[in-house]
Chains A and B, each alone.
Chain A
Amino acid sequence: MKPDAKPDAEPGGKSDEGSHRHGTADAAASDGYPAARLRLLQEDGQSGPARRAALAGLTDAWLSSLFTGAAARLPGVSLVAVGGYGRGELSPRSDLDLLLLYDARADPGGVAALADRIWYPVWDLGLALDHSVRTPAEARRTAGGDLKAHLSLLDARHLAGDPALSAELRTTVLADWRNQAPGRLPELRELCAERAARQGELRYLLEPDLKEARGGLRDATVLRAVAASWLADAPREGLAEARRVLLDTRDALHLATGRATDRLSLQEQDQVAARLGLRDADVLLRTVYEAARTIAYAGDVTWREVGRVLRARSRRPRLRGVLGRGGFGRGGAAQPERTPLAEGVVEQEGEAVLARTARPEQDPVLPLRAAAAAAQAGLPLSPHAVRRLAAATRPLPTPWPAEARDRLVTLLGAGRPTVDVWDALDAEGMISRLLPDWEWVRCRPQRNAVHTWTVDRHLVETAVRASALTRRVGRPDLLLVAALLHDIGKGRPGDHSEAGAARAAGIAADLGFDAADTAVLTTLVRHHLLLVETATRRDLDDPATVAAVTDAVGSAGTLELLHALTEADALATGPAAWSAWRGHLVADLVRRAAAVLTGRAPRQAEPSEPTAEQERLAMEAFRTGGPVLRLRAEPEPPPDTGAGSGNGPPALAAGAGAPGGPEPLGVELLVAVPEQPGVLPAVAGVLALHRMTVRTAELRVKELPDGLAAQTGTAGPDLRARGGHGADGADGTDGADGAARAGGRAAGPSPAAVLLLDWRVAAEYGSLPQATRLRADLVRALDGSLDIAGRLAERDAAYPRRRGTAPPPPRVAPAPAGSRRATVIEVRAQDAPGLLHRVGRALDAAGVRVRSAHVSTLGSNAVDAFYVTDAEGAPLTVERADGVARSLEAALRA
């Protein structure tokens, strides 16, 4: 407030306007105070808490002398410091929060005159003043209606006048606070959440507000208020120290700017750092961020504790009733409800916690699994769980097992909830343990006005933004990991893209990506700025511009990833970094580059020749006319060893990991079924019923040797007539064309073609079901006696809907330039129980035949390609393909 500002005329007791000034009478007292104040602030000897206390003490003495000078004989009046001043801490430019308290004994006219004789000298000195004049009852009423006023009164401190009056106020206000806490704390929590949403998270902001941002001084004050309610207490560890750091920084900021500002803007950071004796602004920000992290973490824990206490209170009456009816002997708290989220992870009271059966010591993937499950469900990870994980889990082996990599991708792809879960892991140092390079970017400020956030938060934000773009790319896992790593070179010498690419190559290999994927990730990191820089600065009509991009990127798949990464990165940078204008330029460049690259893009890898074992299964299926099924835990033997026994002990599997590639996730499931409609939905449905998730799935039609088919005599002539046709297929997938077509039409019990399914599946919880049970259910599913859709719907309904953010909608489209012999339909969707079953049913309903399928689950994203033909075995027309894609998409959205 400016020195010449007039007090507000406000009903309810604030001092009235219109009184004349009393400056002269107080001149003697004021003369000493400004000089002493100036000495204190400019003196180098004192700083930090001591200076704040000294400034408050000095101000106390001055106000007290003003009060005594003006109201020596006035009864029933006292002067009370509230808010920050009430806590006895004054920053150089802090407001003075003052309350003039009076009761029935005081003469109202005398009180107004007294107020003027205190407020005016304060204004005359140019100090900001927050003032009110009230009776204790009025103060109580105001507090009752205004939460902020109540908080400020909790810190009331007697300055001058009648001590009994001040003490009465303090006692009643505190008593009210405790009585009303169950109603007011949720209100306060709401207020804090709303402020956090508005101001952002202090520890990630490059120009943070030290007071209002989440984890700032205001939150520290709120924690004191919660403690004063006696309902819950904050974890004290480091809290006072964190508060001191923020207060010291604010003092230096006030002195550096000469203004009462709480925003640590870029231009002030160097000066503030110098005043605090820190090496540079980076050190300053890291110190401030660590302090804010401590306060924000204490806040999270405290509010969850408050929630628990309040819930327990509201439950208590009902519980008593139950106990009363049920007799005695059931002492202790009721068992909280737990619902499973993933192996070893359950939900309890709105948090993800470790299951009782979880064994962190023996399960190095558990932290990532718990984090991924929590983020996907939109739940916070319990701090106790994180602590236990941090203390007990052993480091992951390098390269990471497939499950760890997959869970990381799932965690990164969960959208907004990823941020808090990631943060909970980081608070216990677990991210740096998983990715040692993280330490370089953790809390690292960026000296760039375009950026909003610190490097670590920007990386996580980029992953969050990328999770919304996963349907645009064929490899969502690479997109998400590239988003996390794209700036990992920041803080290292040299160009951050180059340094980052070098680091990314090492990290990708440690994460267990194969050489090809590692190369793509490295390219993405190295060129993450290429598209935006080229599009906005180079002439897009110049073929050399496009050539520079295609040379750097190399393939259409990488280009598509780079495009999505560019957009996610820009969106995660700040409001100035992305616009429709930029998006348009980048899209234009990508279109031009894609036109060049599509021609030379390698086709999707075709399935290898069937192994001897698959041949054997196919024959068996053909002979028996029913499904044949193999489930095994060890990797497939190399092709030259021929058909091995499918029942090796799991112990062998661990040792037999392929040395070249990363160990795949889950177990192998081989199924051979005589070709008939409904195989895909039946197999997928049976697996879903047995709570197994499909990680990858290959499906193809296997043509049977001519001789054998002829022996059976059913489809012989037809098959032979078309045999040559199948053999000359350039596309291996379609090699079985003739036979399959014949088999599809064959009506007898011995069709001439067999569907071969080579899947990798994993049990959602616990152990795998027995192969015989799977087969029995598959037989029932195929003959229609098992209502899979109904059973799945029933189970879905029994589970509560999770709160996690809505994933991007599914996308189904015919792939351009697909196979010559079949139409390729690409499906990209959020993985869910029974997804493949629904896809298969929708394809059946659309009347198309699936000739082969390539299904992969990458984290929580399913990326599938189905090679389909019409009933006659010919590729679909463009219109038909679009229609099938649309109906499939509609089926998945439902």
Chain B
Amino acid sequence: MKLITAVVKPHRLDEIKEALQASGVHGLTVTEASGYGRQRGHTEVYRGAEYTVDLVPKIRIEVLVEDDDAEHVTDVIVKAARTGKIGDGKVWSVPVDAAVRVRTGERGPDAL
């Protein structure tokens, strides 16, 4: 199993959700997050005064999938999240040792 984590622009959430549902992913976790990457935040000018935005609002999406699906799901997220502009975000996956469905006690891929 793999845990896929995506940190992306907030307004892409609906597209990503729809794309994931269409590709058979049934569950996901969304968290409100903020941070910066290579862009190091950005600077804006408002009423003549320059101010720096160092932490940019993002959303963090987490999906647990079987090993074989990981690549495909990652691609789905990347495609749905892309606007082509700076700050589109990042997607990564890590191996997962165990998963349990709390209600039934099912383990491993059955719990997904």
Contacts and interface: CB of A to CB of B under 8 A. Distances in A.
A585 B46 CA distance: 15
13 contacts: A536-B10, A537-B10, A537-B11, A537-B13, A539-B9, A539-B11, A581-B32, A582-B32, A588-B53, A591-B46, A595-B47, A816-B47, A816-B48
A539 B87 CA distance: 12
B34 A539 contact: no
Contacts of A538: 11
A581 B83 CA distance: 21
A585 B47 contact: no
Given A581-B34, A585-B10, A539 B83 contact: yes
Interface string B6-30: 0001110110000000000000000
Interface string B48-86: 100001010100000000000000000000000001010
A588 B41 CA distance: 13
Contacts of B48: 816
Sorted nearest first, the 6 A-B pairs with minimum C-beta distance are: A581-B32, A539-B11, A585-B57, A591-B46, A538-B11, A584-B57
Contacts of A579: 32
B33 interface: yes
B3 to A, nearest CB: 22
Given A537-B11, A581-B34, A582-B32, 8 more contacts: A536-B11, A538-B11, A539-B9, A540-B11, A581-B57, A585-B10, A595-B47, A816-B48
Tell me if B's interface is mostly helix, strand, loop or mixed: mixed
Interface string A253-275: 00000000000000000000000
Contacts of A595: 46-47
Nearest to B55: A584
Contacts of A588: 53, 57
B110 interface: no
Interface of A: 536-541, 579, 581-582, 584-585, 588, 591, 594-595, 598, 816
B44 interface: yes
A537 B9 CA distance: 9
B31 to A, nearest CB: 9
Contacts of B13: 537
Contacts of B47: 594-595, 598, 816
A213 to B, nearest CB: 29
B45 to A, nearest CB: 8
Contacts of A536: 10-11
A559 to B, nearest CB: 13
Nearest to B33: A581
B99 to A, nearest CB: 26
Nearest to B32: A581
A584 B34 CA distance: 10
A694 to B, nearest CB: 31
Which bucket holds chain B's interface residue count? 10 to 19
Contacts of A585: 10, 57
Contacts of B85: 541
Contacts of B34: 581, 584
A564 to B, nearest CB: 18
Nearest to A537: B11
Contacts of B14: 537
A585 B34 CA distance: 10
Most chain-B CB neighbours within 10 Å: which of A539, A579, A582?
A539
Contacts of A816: 47-48
Contacts of B55: 584
Contacts of A591: 44, 46
Nearest to A535: B10
A38 to B, nearest CB: 29
B54 to A, nearest CB: 11
Contacts of A594: 46-47
Contacts of A537: 10-11, 13-14
A461 B29 CA distance: 31
A816 B55 CA distance: 27
Nearest to B14: A537
Nearest to A582: B32
Contacts of B10: 536-537, 585
A711 to B, nearest CB: 48
Nearest to B31: A581
B112 to A, nearest CB: 25
Nearest to A534: B11
B105 to A, nearest CB: 22
Contacts of B83: 539, 541
Nearest to B9: A539
B73 to A, nearest CB: 23
A824 to B, nearest CB: 14
Contacts of B44: 591
Nearest to B34: A581
A663 to B, nearest CB: 38
A573 B34 CA distance: 23
A17 B34 CA distance: 56
A584 B35 CA distance: 12
Nearest to A585: B57
Contacts of B57: 581, 584-585, 588
A563 to B, nearest CB: 14
A584 B55 CA distance: 10
B55 to A, nearest CB: 8
A679 to B, nearest CB: 33
A231 B55 CA distance: 61
A585 B32 CA distance: 11
A539 B88 CA distance: 11
Nearest to A598: B47
Nearest to B58: A581
A660 B32 CA distance: 50
A585 B57 CA distance: 7
Nearest to A586: B57
A536 B11 CA distance: 6
Contacts of B46: 591, 594-595
Most chain-A CB neighbours within 10 Å: which of B47, B55, B83?
B47
B51 to A, nearest CB: 9
A549 B68 CA distance: 44
A581 B9 CA distance: 12
A591 B47 CA distance: 9
Contacts of B53: 588
Contacts of A584: 34, 55, 57
A536 B30 CA distance: 13
Contacts of B11: 536-540
Interface string B74-109: 000000000101000000000000000000000000
Contacts of B9: 539
A816 B10 CA distance: 32
A598 B34 CA distance: 29
A547 to B, nearest CB: 16
A591 B45 CA distance: 10
Nearest to B83: A539
Contacts of A582: 32
Contacts of A541: 83, 85
Nearest to B51: A591
Nearest to A816: B47
Nearest to B56: A584
A539 B55 CA distance: 17
Nearest to A536: B10
A541 B44 CA distance: 12
A326 B34 CA distance: 75
Contacts of B33: 581
Nearest to B53: A588
Nearest to A538: B11
Contacts of A598: 47
Nearest to A581: B32
A816 B46 CA distance: 12
A539 B12 CA distance: 8
A205 to B, nearest CB: 25
Most chain-A CB neighbours within 10 Å: which of B10, B55, B85?
B10
